[in-house]
Chains A and B, each alone.
Chain A
């Protein structure tokens, strides 16, 4: 069936509000009598709290309250675990140690909150923070991943025998036997380091406990309003119906805002109830560097076994994953890494052993990519090395190993982040890669242009990196679709929105079923009063899981519309069509009734309705996929390196995406652009530098560099659609796709550009300075 709305480049419904400054963000919330919070945070990464004296702070005029862990009494509880250890894997070690609301005995990372001041203004609150006298006994800090597991290392959690947070081995086939048969075994140490999500909007919370109505309203920059509502109700001893959590417009989520129950997220509502006053806390940028979660620190010792013709026989990877001071997010990231280590390739023998380690650093939870970029970086680096050693073309070695289209659904025989067997639902990989090669003119560049430019003394390189992205995981989302008497359609769903264009793509899905204009569909996301059930916006799942729930609800409403219209228009349902907000007889268009009139008739004031009839044109439905849909894509890039400064210029940047059914190419491309910019940051600009004392050395945007418009190339986006069989819309997620392959792509293109050097890049992120250092080392080793 040809689609009228899905797949069209519809401009975003939400943009006029956003562009004219009319959209509500958390910091826009102003309530009479509102107080403001500021936190006292530890300077040390690891220290024992000896004493704390808040008396001077309490006496400062304008200070309403100061709370320490002691003051919280029984209410002091570590945050809830977000994800439990995998029940389906054997011999798993998992030590759950969750973040605490305020430090009670020991500081475990720099920036951990020790006390909170509530005052009449933020200014007073911050001045009062400086009045607090706190005595900390510094302890040796655990910063390095390797050292954290060494005998005698200081313990982040004193009750554990070591800093091992978790341990898990996943196997399929027989790697050792495959290794025996291999013509070439590549063994390398590959390291990935930390970056920040650096959303434009920092975190923020406004909590308002209304004593008279016994109701708590919380505005929160969370990606998961419903779980926050549920958790707050449980912790604060309230019914879920006494708590309303609103995640309004949010200036970027990127994963860290999916982390649930940050200390501040629990404390501010708790304090509002204690004081019966509304309280606002807005995180500042420096707090964000210390207290908002980060990602990507892993050390891999990896082996790739290949036959002479470049076929991968097996992969073995033993790696360390840095979880920071606590591990509320369980094994999600290292499991994602394991699930992406084999990339889009058909690999029969695989062993992966991960040790998750505690360090005295900021907590690690998913950041756009969530373990996937690391997995792709490893396999793609190894293939580049293998191609060189075997004398096979970079593209050819990949083509030979791609999972063939007939192999789908492809069972990987390991478990994924949802603890379900990893199955790649569908795909047709080579045409996507081929399209990227064609778009960038690979053959022509390699055969003609590159030799010519090299002869001119230029260092130009090309990279081409395919990747998979597991997306759209369960458990479920739901939605309620209502045709209103105005003829407009109202949709409520539980996910939060942080710029993904939900107000448009979701509206397109509804418009497709009900034949109304996209602008006549009003979407509400992220308000627990509007929709009661759901999980959140993460893991590239909005369009897949919430999208299909909306599709399901809209389909039911369509049936209700047709059933009622068939009676009123005295025409069989098959002969009716939904167009322009009307139900009309297909070959007699003047015989019609508007959806608004139908909605009124569906909710009569008098008379009898048939048994089993529900009032109104409304339906609520849920969607939970059997397992996550796996998207595929390929990025290609041509760069030029200034051999004197190691500054790079991106000459071409191509992405080809196969995320199944495209709902709106305009929005899809926007997500890709944003993802690529984040990937470029990961690859060449952004790195958090922690010293051996666990101190973050570049906690400001003057020192921590994010790419800006001047670093962004023009991105050419191509699409291929291999629909997912796992949902009716055929969608797969794409939110993280732009980011995932970029560090691998950069390394390949840089090595290709510096063709006359024996450079092997085994780390990410890089920088001009770091690339220079690598080349100096290469020169020395020659």
Chain B
């Protein structure tokens, strides 16, 4: 009936369980009413704008392991759900082994917001524009999810169902994202296009990762993930397959970028037209793949 011209947070209960079991139990008891709560950089905005109206925010930041950032030389990186992006950026292990993830985190909003924003939150928010999701996808990230009956692991690639929609069920809490060891000799880049240099949501985001792979005809595997151009963070597999089978040349990179652009289905909105976004996927994919290829050569 009327514009919410005084956007403020509606009333809600803040709940801080002591254990994961307690948290899952609470979330299960109030399906649709209770939500897990991390940094709040998305959830508060959406609550303020009346898009969601949870009665309970269940803070999971103090629960077992959610604050851990752990790198194991044999297994890879486990990033607890509550680890904020500035911690990721500052981590020596991340810088050494997953610089692409640090680069993606650095592109998010501002320093101040990154002290609240988390990678797992970015994932669970399931916005197609999420800047850090691409890096987690190309490193074959696996989510650790606590559910009422215990723990399960779920590949990130199968997690997204639509904008804001994931495979999470009531009672599920993502406690961490695990990134396996990076492929040997890999190089990556994240190119983000916003309307300004700082702080805008991505109009288009392109994550590219490449590494030598003697088992493939081209000798290299390239991974791509696209932000803001489909209902979910998109992996254009046609482009990846193409580069697995063709010799890597400027021409095949251009063709792969074309395949990436063809794979996406962007929307028209105030930030940019679908036509512009599609063209930007083509241009930025070519640029990203070329930059990665330069590092690999």
Q: Contacting B198 at CB < 8 Å: which of A132, A644, A708, A768? A: A708
Interface residues of B in 76-117 (CB under 8 A from A): none
Q: How far is the CA of A703 from the CA of B203 in the complex (A)?
A: 12
Q: How far is the CA of A38 from the CA of B3 in the complex (A)?
A: 13
* B241 on the A face (CB < 8 A): no
Q: How far is the CA of A129 from the CA of B273 in the complex (A)?
A: 37
Given the interface contacts A286-B5, A703-B270, does A644 sit within 8 Å of B283 by beta carbon?
yes
Q: Which residues of A contact B177 (CB under 8 A)?
A: none
Produce 1/0 per residue, A83-125, CB < 8 A to B.
0000000000000000000000000001100100000000100
Q: Contacting B197 at CB < 8 Å: which of A136, A710, A767? A: A710
Q: Which residues of B contact A132 (CB under 8 A)?
A: 2
Contact B2 A769 (CB under 8 A): no
* A287 on the B face (CB < 8 A): yes
Q: Which residues of A contact B284 (CB under 8 A)?
A: 644-645
Contact A703 B271 (CB under 8 A): yes
Q: Contacting B2 at CB < 8 Å: which of A42, A689, A698? A: A42
Contact A287 B5 (CB under 8 A): yes
Interface centre among B1, B199, B280 (most CB of A within 10 A): B1
Contact A645 B273 (CB under 8 A): no
Q: How far is the CA of A136 from the CA of B199 in the complex (A)?
A: 38
Q: How far is the CA of A767 from the CA of B1 in the complex (A)?
A: 33
Q: Which residues of A contact B275 (CB under 8 A)?
A: 772-773, 776
* B215 on the A face (CB < 8 A): no
Q: Which residues of B contact A697 (CB under 8 A)?
A: 270
Interface residues of B in 238-297 (CB under 8 A from A): 270-273, 275-276, 279-280, 283-284, 287
Interface centre among B5, B271, B280 (most CB of A within 10 A): B5
Q: Which residues of A contact B193 (CB under 8 A)?
A: 645, 647
Given the interface contacts A286-B5, A287-B5, A290-B5, does A685 sit within 8 Å of B196 by beta carbon?
yes
Interface centre among A114, A290, A644, A702 (most CB of B within 10 A): A644
* A530 on the B face (CB < 8 A): no
Interface residues in A, total, Cβ within 8 A: 40
Q: How far is the CA of A703 from the CA of B195 in the complex (A)?
A: 10
Contact B196 A129 (CB under 8 A): no
* B169 on the A face (CB < 8 A): no
Q: Contacting A41 at CB < 8 Å: which of B5, B199, B276, B287? A: B5
Contact B270 A698 (CB under 8 A): yes
* A126 on the B face (CB < 8 A): yes
Q: How far is the CB of B271 from chain A (nearest CB, A)?
A: 7
Q: Contacting A710 at CB < 8 Å: which of B4, B8, B198, B283? A: B198
Chain B: CB-nearest residue to A40: B2
Interface residues in B, total, Cβ within 8 A: 28
Given the interface contacts A111-B5, A286-B7, A290-B5, does A711 sit within 8 Å of B272 by beta carbon?
no
Given the interface contacts A284-B5, A286-B7, does A769 sit within 8 Å of B276 by beta carbon?
yes
Given the interface contacts A697-B270, A708-B199, does A284 sit within 8 Å of B3 by beta carbon?
no
* B6 on the A face (CB < 8 A): yes
* A716 on the B face (CB < 8 A): no
* B200 on the A face (CB < 8 A): yes
Q: How far is the CB of B12 from chain A (nearest CB, A)?
A: 14
Chain A: CB-nearest residue to B3: A43
Contact B2 A43 (CB under 8 A): yes
Produce 1/0 per residue, B2-21, CB < 8 A to A.
11111110000000000000
Q: How far is the CA of A710 from the CA of B110 in the complex (A)?
A: 12
Contact A705 B7 (CB under 8 A): no
* A134 on the B face (CB < 8 A): yes
Contact B3 A689 (CB under 8 A): no
Produce 1/0 per residue, A694-707, CB < 8 A to B.
00011000110101
Q: How far is the CA of A507 from the CA of B203 in the complex (A)?
A: 49
Q: How far is the CB of B199 from chain A (nearest CB, A)?
A: 7
Contact A645 B283 (CB under 8 A): yes
Contact A134 B197 (CB under 8 A): no
Interface centre among B196, B271, B284 (most CB of A within 10 A): B196
Interface residues of A in 723-782 (CB under 8 A from B): 767-769, 772-773, 776
Contact B2 A41 (CB under 8 A): yes
Q: Which residues of B contact A286 (CB under 8 A)?
A: 3-7
Chain A: CB-nearest residue to B279: A772
Q: How far is the CB of A529 from chain B (nearest CB, A)?
A: 33
* B201 on the A face (CB < 8 A): yes
Q: Which residues of B contact A134 (CB under 8 A)?
A: 1-2
Interface centre among B7, B197, B199, B276 (most CB of A within 10 A): B276
Chain A: CB-nearest residue to B8: A126
Produce 1/0 per residue, B187-198, CB < 8 A to A.
000000101111
Interface residues of B in 189-238 (CB under 8 A from A): 193, 195-201, 203
Q: How far is the CB of A120 from chain B (nearest CB, A)?
A: 16
Contact A768 B195 (CB under 8 A): yes
Q: Which residues of B contact A703 (CB under 8 A)?
A: 270-271
Chain A: CB-nearest residue to B45: A702
Q: Which residues of A contact B196 (CB under 8 A)?
A: 685, 705, 707-708, 710-711
Q: How far is the CB of A651 from chain B (nearest CB, A)?
A: 15
Contact A284 B6 (CB under 8 A): yes
Interface residues of B in 1-58 (CB under 8 A from A): 1-8
Q: How far is the CB of B159 from chain A (nearest CB, A)?
A: 25
Contact B6 A287 (CB under 8 A): yes
Q: Which residues of B contact A111 (CB under 8 A)?
A: 3, 5
Q: Contacting A773 at CB < 8 Å: which of B4, B7, B200, B276? A: B276
Q: Which residues of A contact B283 (CB under 8 A)?
A: 644-645
Contact B197 A711 (CB under 8 A): yes
Contact B8 A685 (CB under 8 A): no
Chain B: CB-nearest residue to A711: B196
* A627 on the B face (CB < 8 A): no
* A538 on the B face (CB < 8 A): no
Interface residues of B in 166-193 (CB under 8 A from A): 193
Contact A123 B200 (CB under 8 A): no
Interface centre among A134, A768, A776 (most CB of B within 10 A): A768
Given the interface contacts A43-B1, A645-B283, does A705 sit within 8 Å of B6 by beta carbon?
no
Q: How far is the CB of B198 from chain A (nearest CB, A)?
A: 5
Contact B276 A290 (CB under 8 A): no
Q: How far is the CA of A83 from the CA of B80 in the complex (A)?
A: 63
Q: Contacting B3 at CB < 8 Å: which of A41, A123, A705? A: A41
Q: How far is the CA of A710 from the CA of B199 in the complex (A)?
A: 10
Q: Which residues of A contact B4 (CB under 8 A)?
A: 286
Contact A773 B3 (CB under 8 A): no
Q: Contacting A110 at CB < 8 Å: which of B3, B7, B276, B280? A: B3
Q: How far is the CB of A749 from chain B (nearest CB, A)?
A: 18
Interface residues of A in 502-521 (CB under 8 A from B): none
Interface residues of A in 383-406 (CB under 8 A from B): none
* A39 on the B face (CB < 8 A): yes
Contact B276 A772 (CB under 8 A): yes
Q: Which residues of A contact B200 (CB under 8 A)?
A: 705
Q: Contacting B280 at CB < 8 Å: which of A123, A126, A645, A776? A: A645
Contact A129 B272 (CB under 8 A): no
Chain B: CB-nearest residue to A123: B8
Contact B271 A769 (CB under 8 A): yes
Q: How far is the CB of B266 from chain A (nearest CB, A)?
A: 12
Q: Which residues of A contact B287 (CB under 8 A)?
A: 644
Q: Which residues of A contact B271 (CB under 8 A)?
A: 703, 769
Q: Contacting A689 at CB < 8 Å: which of B197, B270, B276? A: B270
Chain A: CB-nearest residue to B110: A708
Which residues of A does B touch, CB under 8 Å? 38-43, 110-111, 114, 123, 126, 129, 132, 134, 136, 284, 286-287, 290-291, 644-645, 647, 685, 689, 697-698, 702-703, 705, 707-708, 710-711, 767-769, 772-773, 776
17 intermolecular pairs with C-beta atoms under 8 Å apart? A41-B2, A42-B3, A43-B3, A123-B8, A286-B5, A644-B284, A645-B283, A697-B270, A698-B270, A703-B271, A708-B198, A711-B197, A769-B195, A769-B271, A769-B272, A769-B273, A772-B273
Known pairs A284-B7, A287-B5 / 5 extra A-B pairs, C-beta < 8 Å: A39-B5, A126-B8, A689-B270, A705-B196, A708-B196
Which residues of B does A touch, CB under 8 Å? 1-8, 193, 195-201, 203, 270-273, 275-276, 279-280, 283-284, 287
